[in-house]
Structure formats: structure tokens, C-alpha cells
Amino acid sequence: EDQVTQSPEALRLQEGESSSLNCSYTVSGLRGLFWYRQDPGKGPEFLFTLYSAGEEKEKERLKATLTKKESFLHITAPKPEDSATYLCAPWTGFQKLVFGTGTRLLVSP
């Protein structure tokens, strides 16, 4: 059975305090991995797609990396507007995503 675990469940940072979120997965037939950001009461917003181990993608203060068993989302010098729930979702084909439970990030000014 496909499994996705995200850690920590919740993370509180001060503005400017860098950190990393983890996504560990056990899935068969991995074709890629997606990262999304979800604000309260809204649908997920696409951030990145990673396709192979060793790949890295960057967007503003966020950088996503991928290994064979996990992915990391690095947040450099976060700002309060980065506060959200970050979801990872391995992709096993036919566009079917397996979502993790998410990391709730709160960045305080």
C-alpha cells in the first residue's frame, strides 16, 4: 500500500529562520512528486514537480529536492506570508496523487 508521511506535522518559525520540511514515501511505480501549498479554506496551489532523484527546483524562498525515498522542501528566510500547509504528493501514474497529511507552517514576524 502506498504511504506518504510528512514531518513535522506543525512548524513554527520566526521570520528569517530557515528550515526544512520532510516528505517520506513508499509507493510503487513512482513517476514524480508534487509539492503544493494550501491556505486555510482554499484548494492546493501548485508549487513544484520533481521527476527524478537528485533533481532540485526553486521558487522564491522555496527549494524542493528529491531522493529515492524522500523529498525536502527548504524554506530560506521565510516571511509571514509563507504561512500555510505544505502538501507533498507522489504521483504514481494516471495523474493519481497520494497526498501526505501536510506540514502546517506558521511564520511569526
Partner 1 sequence: GAVVSQHPSWVICKSGTSVKIECRSLDFQATTMFWYRQFPKQSLMLMATSNEGSKATYEQGVEKDKFLINHASLTLSTLTVTSAHPEDSSFYICGAGGGETQYFGPGTRLLVL
Residues of this chain that bind partner 1 (CB under 8 A):
32, 34, 36, 41-46, 49, 87, 91, 94-97, 99-102, 104
CB of 2 to partner 1, least distance (A): 11
Which grid coordinates belong to 62? 522555496
Nearer to partner 1, 18 or 101 (CB): 101
Q: Is 57 exposed, middle or buried (0-12, 13-18, 19+ CB in 10 A)?
A: middle
CB of 18 to partner 1, least distance (A): 25
